[in-house]
A and B are shown apart, each in its own frame.
Chain A
Amino acid sequence: MGLKDITNQFLHTIITIVLILLGWQILSMLLQTTAFPPPGKALKSFTTLLYSDILTHLQISLYRVGVSLVVAAILGIPLGLFLGKNKRADELSAPFLYLTFPIPKVVFLPIFLILLGIGNLSKIVMITLIVFYQILVTTRDAARNVQHEYVLSVQSLKASNWELYRHVYFPACLPNILTSLKLGLGTAMAVLFLVETYATREGIGYFIMNSWSSLAYDKMFAGIIAMSLMGFLLYLLLDTCEKIFCSWVNP
């Protein structure tokens, strides 16, 4: 990527942000309610709160989402690759995954709260479980579709199984894995919000709902901005990984 592309992309991002803020401003002027403050007011409250408790809440949320994503990836990617590569294991596990995949796992939240307590653990397990399924199924399907030619090509070098995973299956599936992580991130943020509105006094989800119930709409919007920024930064991180490690897709 040349310097010109980078400046272009930067300009594009700036213009998009300005347009979003403009739309927000217009909407708040039309609605004329304290529940939807203009961006200026919300941003001001965001910056003043930044040095108080909002950062602590953000930190806790980031920890919950981060750990969940990492654990889901560590479990989901290898298992997905293994199932995609090994027909027998795939055939054995497919009905189970097929039946359990469509269940909205979030309905198990009450059970997790009872079993694992109201601390971080139940929240992390909940988010991890949901994201894990997404990563697992995407990775497995990608591994199933790896072109046989690439496998033969590396097998003909008398490669071991481990080397096949390392040089063929993992890199071949990486673009799909990163896409599933990005989608998983979106899901994780949504589930995070939900789990943080129950039985907790920590986290950005709690912060938002608490501000809402005490009618502090500026504060509430500051929380929304903080949560959006967190999602955006995590997305940017995954996007950068894709640019670095999957440059072969669009060289």
Chain B
Amino acid sequence: MNKIDLETEKIREPKDYLEIESLKVTYNQRGQETLALENVNLTLPEASIGAIIGPSGCGKSTLLNVVAGLNPSYEGKVFLNGKTPQESNEVALILQEYGLLPWKTVWDNVRLGLQIKGVSKGEAAERTEEILTQLGLLQLRKRFPIQLSGGQRQRVAIARSLVLKPELLLMDEPFSSLDALTREEMQELVLKVWQENGLTILLITHNIEEAVFLGHKIFTMSPCPGNILEELTNPLAGDHEARGKVEFLELTNYLRQNLRGRE
């Protein structure tokens, strides 16, 4: 399934990191079929941030799981820099609830990915320490996730992904359970991480302002079965003064009406 088509490989424009074409996902639970995604088409240029907004249950997490290689039974084409999600080793996923393992300390949670990828012990320790220092988490390294605040957990989840030096970072509603201040702090952190590491990021959000603040490309999705309604190029992304500008208000209002009209 989903073998690389050599023909399309040659003519592919090099600047799109993620390409999704006619993606369809059905869940089959106890004989009951749910069509979660149908005819999803999406492209995301290299080193940019894409933001997906859509109503609850429209298949956003499903889409991310496919790209992360967690759902091999999809139909359609999904390529990460020319590789299928199953082949790609350059993708990291931050789950909706962060996905930190409660039985591992901060240190062990962050190191786990390196351990699984077979990085040597010494190098793994070095890289773990480096990333924890960078995100201001080194003093917390011996704690368990349960002993952290929401913002700190989010930081650990980011550290856990970044330590793998991924090319594509997927984030599923990364800030939805944070208070407003921590949320803004984390948005800044994502921008900083993006700038410093030259990553491609695809994130899901319920928050329209957040999508406009972070997303160079904004995708709106329809309710179940989900597909992409609209793809907007957003010139305001990453602009710290944007929140005060008229264009910002106009864009958020447009998106809000667009989403509400379909719900």
Contacts and interface: CB of A to CB of B under 8 A. Distances in A.
Interface centre among A149, A171, A172 (most CB of B within 10 A): A149
Contacts of A21: none
Interface stretch (B3-11, B17-25, B92-100, B197-205): B92-100
Nearest to B146: A251
B194 interface: no
Interface stretch (A49-57, A116-124, A152-160, A234-242): A152-160
Interface in B99-144: 99-104, 112-113, 116-117, 143-144
A54 to B, nearest CB: 42
Contacts of A163: 116
Interface string A144-166: 00000110111111110001000
B52 to A, nearest CB: 18
Nearest to B96: A149
B99 A152 contact: yes
A167 B147 contact: no
Nearest to B93: A156
B103 A172 contact: yes
Interface in A126-184: 149-150, 152-159, 163, 167-168, 171-172, 174
Interface stretch (B31-39, B62-70, B215-223): B62-70
B113 A157 contact: yes
B95 A152 contact: yes
Contact of A152 (B65, B89, B104, B164): B65
Interface residues of B, number: 25
Interface in B72-104: 89, 92-93, 95-97, 99-104
A248 B101 CA distance: 10
B22 to A, nearest CB: 24
Contacts of B95: 149, 152-153, 156
Interface string A75-90: 0000000000000000
A251 B146 CA distance: 8
B142 to A, nearest CB: 10
B70 A155 contact: yes
Interface centre among B70, B99, B117 (most CB of A within 10 A): B99
Given A156-B68, A156-B92, A172-B103, A149 B146 contact: no
A171 to B, nearest CB: 4
A112 B146 CA distance: 49
Contacts, number: 59
Contact of B112 (A149, A154, A172, A246): A154
Nearest to B114: A157
Nearest to A171: B103
A205 to B, nearest CB: 39
B69 A157 contact: no
Contact of A156 (B69, B97, B100): B69
A191 B55 CA distance: 59
A149 B89 CA distance: 20
A247 B104 CA distance: 10
A114 B68 CA distance: 58
Interface string A215-251: 0000000000000000000000000000000111001
B104 to A, nearest CB: 8
B99 A248 contact: no
Given A152-B65, A155-B70, A156-B69, A168 B101 contact: yes
Contacts of B99: 149-150, 152-153, 156
Contact of A248 (B68, B92, B96, B102): B102
B30 to A, nearest CB: 11
Nearest to A159: B116
B116 A157 contact: yes
Nearest to A247: B144
Interface centre among A152, A153, A158 (most CB of B within 10 A): A153
Nearest to A153: B99
A153 B146 CA distance: 17
Given A159-B116, A248-B144, A251-B144, A154 B65 contact: no
B8 to A, nearest CB: 25
A154 B69 contact: no
10 contacts: A150-B99, A152-B93, A153-B93, A156-B68, A156-B69, A156-B70, A171-B103, A174-B103, A248-B104, A251-B147
Interface of B: 65, 68-70, 89, 92-93, 95-97, 99-104, 112-113, 116-117, 143-144, 146-147, 164
Interface pairs A-B: 6 shortest CB-CB: A153-B99, A171-B103, A156-B93, A248-B103, A248-B144, A157-B113
Given A156-B93, A158-B69, A158-B116, 7 more contacts: A149-B96, A152-B65, A156-B69, A157-B112, A157-B113, A172-B103, A248-B102
